[in-house]
Structure 1
C-alpha cells in the first residue's frame, strides 16, 4: 500500500504542475517557486507532515518537499533563536542543494546548451 500512496501523491503533485503549465501563462520558474512556497505554507499550517507520513518519497522528492524541508528546519532552528531559524533551514536541506549543484555542474560539462534565440 505504501507504493500506491507514493505513486498517487507524487503523481498528483506532478499532474498539478502539468496542468499549471498547460492552462496558465505562468513560466516554468514561477511554477517551481509556487511549489516550493506551497510546501513551506503547508508545513507552516501543519498539513504537509501528514502527507509525508502517508506518501513518503512521493511527497518529499517533488519541489513542495523541498519547501517542507526548508520550513521544518527553520521551525526547529527557531527554537535556538533568529540565527537558528536561518541556519536550520540550510542544515536540513544542504544535502539536496549540494547534489543539485554537483549534478548541474557535471551536466554542464557534458552537454552544450543550445540557445532558443538564433
Structure 2
C-alpha cells in the first residue's frame, strides 16, 4: 500500500508540473525554481514534513523534496552555527544528493556520447 501512496503523491507533483508547462507555457527552469521554493516555503509553514511522513519518497524525490532538504539543513545550520548557518546549512544538508548527482552525471557522460541539440 505504501508503494501506491508514494507513486500517487510523486505522480501528482509531476502532473502539476506538466499542467504548468502545458497551460501556462512555463519553462522547465522556471518550474524547477517554483518547486524548490515551494518546498522551502511549505517546510517553513510546517506543511511539508507531514507530507514526507505520509508519502516518503513520493514527497522527497521530486524537486519540492530538495527544497524541503535545503530548509531542514538551513534550520539545523542556524541551531548549530547561529546566523551564518543559514548560508551553509542547506548545502550541508543536501550534500550527499548533490554529490550523487555530480558523480552519476559524470559516469553517464563517460558511458554515453553526449551530443549537442541541433
TM-score in same-fold range (> 0.5): yes
Q: How does 1:36-115 map to 2 (within 5 A)?
A: 36-79=36-79, 80-115=81-116
Name the residue aligned to 2:6. 6
Name the residue aligned to 2:24. 24
Give TM-score, length-normalised by structure 1. 0.90
C-alpha distance in 2 between matches for 1:19 and 1:90: 30
RMSD across aligned positions (CA)? 1.4
- Runs (5+) with no aligned partner, structure 2: none
Per-residue CA deviation, residues 19-65 of structure 1 (Å, 9 max, x unaligned), is 11222221111111111111011001111000000000110011100
Q: How many equivalent residue pairs? A: 117
